[in-house]
A and B are shown apart, each in its own frame.
Chain A
Amino acid sequence: MLNRGYDAVRSAAWPRGRFALDALAVFAVIVSALLDCGAAAAQTFRYPQNCDEVTGDEGDDPVVRMSIDAGEPIYRDYNVISIGDDTPPQWGIVMGPYDAGKTYNIYATYTPFLTSDTKVTFMEEGSAVYQPLPDPGDTFAGREAIRNSWTVIIVDNQNRSIPEAYVDFIPEFKGSSPYTMQADESGKIVLRCVQDARSYAITVYDKDHKYLYDGFFPVTDGTGSSRSQAYR
């Protein structure tokens, strides 16, 4: 987008009488290019192979949570770190101290629609070890399918689409904050790079910002789209 903005400025040829308007247009193009630059930050993680665009990648570190053995929560003040100079980076965490024989369950959230998880067991106790995070879609149970594109149609309890609805997408971990998008005039939102065989939690407001419902939409089949549903 930045290149396109630059080309637009470079190739423009305007008649002299329209200088003020043209200057405004140049300014608008520059501002637009800058905004695009800010919005389209460099990839912050390795995208799944079939994804050329990722909704929700905003340049944030992945969110990592950990539980031990059968789910007992633990907290250690670990930071997610990237190693090497790879772009996009390989993310990981420094675990420690860790115990022998226990199973550490690690969950990573890259976007509201991309996660991964793994289990780690150590034969001996130790003070610190670097543990790479699995890539999006990689889980302990195997690699999950990723949809390059998924359309969610936001509907009311009569199954009628809700034009220009505001939708808060809620990442799958407790304490998360929503990622907000607005549906088009047909009530549709196109998501890019979405993990398959899951349902995603949402909160829906109408175009006048009135709360309508909490619900979800499934991503479960090959149709490429699904309709939202309210929780019952």
Chain B
Amino acid sequence: MTCARTARLGLAFAAALLPAVAQAQSFVLMTQNMLRFGHGSRLENQCKAIAKASLKVDIIVLQEVMTNGYPCIGTNNNKDVDMPVPANFRYVTSPAKGEKYVEYYGILYRYTPRNNIQITNPGNKVVDFQWKEFIRPPYAVFFNVKSKEKTCKVWVVDFHSIFGKKIEERQKEVKEMGKVYTYLMGRDGGKVIMAGDWNLPTVDLTGFDWVANKPAKIDPNVLTSLTRDGTASSAYDHAINTFAPSNSPVTINEPSSGWVYVGTSTSPPSPSDLAEWRAKVSDHMGVIGDVTLRC
């Protein structure tokens, strides 16, 4: 084969790939259980941790938010902390979740373009599930993810499962999330990401059996909760996304820095990194994924 012919073939191959590449919209998603966010002495450190994370991620899905509004804003806390929503981000809060004990869901998203992608929440569209099957029913926010060529649509769901005294309680709620997934798949383009603290590892097939029976995938199954001393203990934090084996409409890949996030660049984080995160920020590490949408 001549050099010229090789080059022509290469160009043709690249040209064939271009439409697919052009249609892919990529952004970075993080889920973080932020340990009583707003009601603890860790608040300032938590706010700083989010501000730091906001420099590298585009959507942050928060659990255990204790205030109706972004906890770092001075009027939302009594901890003498006053830090704004991170620059270029907007904050979406859910209504109160729970009866006697209440938490909120909070989702931060970057509304200014980054890497030629812009994320918007058109019409402030959300789905506030109020299903009695959950102690904290999930909360879904609809996003348009725009590039110059395309706009992809995706639902991002925030979820914090009950823990309860028995594993059956966790499994029951996680199983019920299959219905939430099906409901959202039938709306607005059928792309869904459900992220949060599931209080079950992905290998618990009693809770997660439905994932294998739908066009869906779950990742990661890495240890994310932390003991009092900062030792990684259980794999509780994951994301479930719409998935098809070939040319999937949604993929979530492990970043080069690894799945877990504790504000440091070492991968995996060192024991002292984990101990510091546990003492000052949260009893869960964050989980970060590189998301690609195709539409």
Chain A residues at the B interface, C-beta cutoff of 8 Å? 31, 34-35, 38-39, 41-42, 44, 55, 58-61, 63, 65-67, 73-75, 77, 79-82, 166, 168, 170, 173-182, 201, 203, 205, 209, 211, 214, 231
Q: Known: A203-B167, A214-B167. Contact between A182 and B101, CB under 8 A?
A: no
Closest 5 CB pairs of A and B: A59-B41, A65-B100, A38-B279, A175-B101, A39-B279
- Whether A209 lies near B279 (C-beta < 8 A) is no
- Whether B233 lies near A44 (C-beta < 8 A) is no
Q: Which residue of A lies closest to B68 (CB)?
A: A77
Q: How far is the CA of A191 from the CA of B35 in the complex (A)?
A: 21
- Whether B163 lies near A214 (C-beta < 8 A) is no
- Whether A201 lies near B165 (C-beta < 8 A) is yes
- Whether A73 lies near B39 (C-beta < 8 A) is no
Interface residues on B, range: 35 or more
CB within 8 A of A173: which of B42, B78, B101, B223?
B101
CB within 8 A of A75: which of B39, B96, B231?
B96
- Whether B40 lies near A180 (C-beta < 8 A) is no
Q: Known: A63-B101, A205-B233. Contact between A180 and B227, CB under 8 A?
A: yes
Q: Known: A59-B41, A174-B135, A177-B64. Contact between A182 and B100, CB under 8 A?
A: no
Q: Which residue of A lies closest to B67 (CB)?
A: A79
Q: How far is the CA of A69 from the CA of B283 in the complex (A)?
A: 36
B229 interface residue per 8 A CB criterion:
yes
- Whether B225 lies near A180 (C-beta < 8 A) is yes
8 Å CB interface, B236-295 against A: 272, 275-276, 279-280, 283
Q: How far is the CA of A75 from the CA of B146 in the complex (A)?
A: 40
CB within 8 A of A175: which of B42, B162, B229, B234?
B162
CB within 8 A of B234: which of A73, A75, A168?
A168
Q: How far is the CA of A110 from the CA of B33 in the complex (A)?
A: 20
Q: How far is the CA of A203 from the CA of B135 in the complex (A)?
A: 19
Q: Which residue of B lies closest to A81 (CB)?
A: B78
Q: How far is the CA of A65 from the CA of B103 in the complex (A)?
A: 12
- Whether A181 lies near B98 (C-beta < 8 A) is no
- Whether B166 lies near A60 (C-beta < 8 A) is no
12 A-B pairs with CB atoms under 8 Å apart are A58-B41, A61-B36, A61-B40, A77-B96, A80-B39, A82-B78, A166-B233, A168-B233, A201-B165, A209-B201, A209-B223, A214-B167
Chain B residues near A214 (CB-CB < 8 A): 165-167
CB within 8 A of A58: which of B40, B201, B272, B275?
B40
Chain B residues at the A interface, C-beta cutoff of 8 Å? 33, 35-36, 39-42, 45, 64, 68, 78, 96, 98-103, 135-136, 162-167, 201, 204, 223, 225-229, 231, 233-235, 272, 275-276, 279-280, 283
CB within 8 A of B163: which of A77, A79, A166, A168?
A168
Q: How far is the CA of A156 from the CA of B112 in the complex (A)?
A: 54
- Whether B96 lies near A170 (C-beta < 8 A) is no
Q: How far is the CA of A175 from the CA of B225 in the complex (A)?
A: 17
Q: How far is the CA of A35 from the CA of B278 in the complex (A)?
A: 10
Chain A residues near B283 (CB-CB < 8 A): 177, 179-180
- Whether A209 lies near B41 (C-beta < 8 A) is no
Q: Known: A77-B96, A214-B165. Contact between A35 and B226, CB under 8 A?
A: no
Chain A residues near B275 (CB-CB < 8 A): 35, 39
Chain A residues near B223 (CB-CB < 8 A): 209
Q: Known: A35-B276, A38-B279, A38-B280. Contact between A75 and B100, CB under 8 A?
A: yes
Q: Known: A31-B272, A175-B103, A177-B163. Contact between A182 and B231, CB under 8 A?
A: yes
- Whether B41 lies near A41 (C-beta < 8 A) is yes
- Whether A209 lies near B233 (C-beta < 8 A) is yes
- Whether A174 lies near B233 (C-beta < 8 A) is no
Q: How far is the CA of A81 from the CA of B35 in the complex (A)?
A: 18
Q: How far is the CA of A60 from the CA of B43 in the complex (A)?
A: 10
Q: Which among B227, B229, B235, B279 has the highest number of chain A CB atoms within 10 Å?
A: B279
Chain A residues near B78 (CB-CB < 8 A): 79, 81-82
Chain B residues near A65 (CB-CB < 8 A): 100-101
- Whether A180 lies near B99 (C-beta < 8 A) is no
Q: How far is the CA of A168 from the CA of B284 in the complex (A)?
A: 13
Q: Which residue of A lies closest to B101 (CB)?
A: A175
Q: How far is the CA of A107 from the CA of B101 in the complex (A)?
A: 11
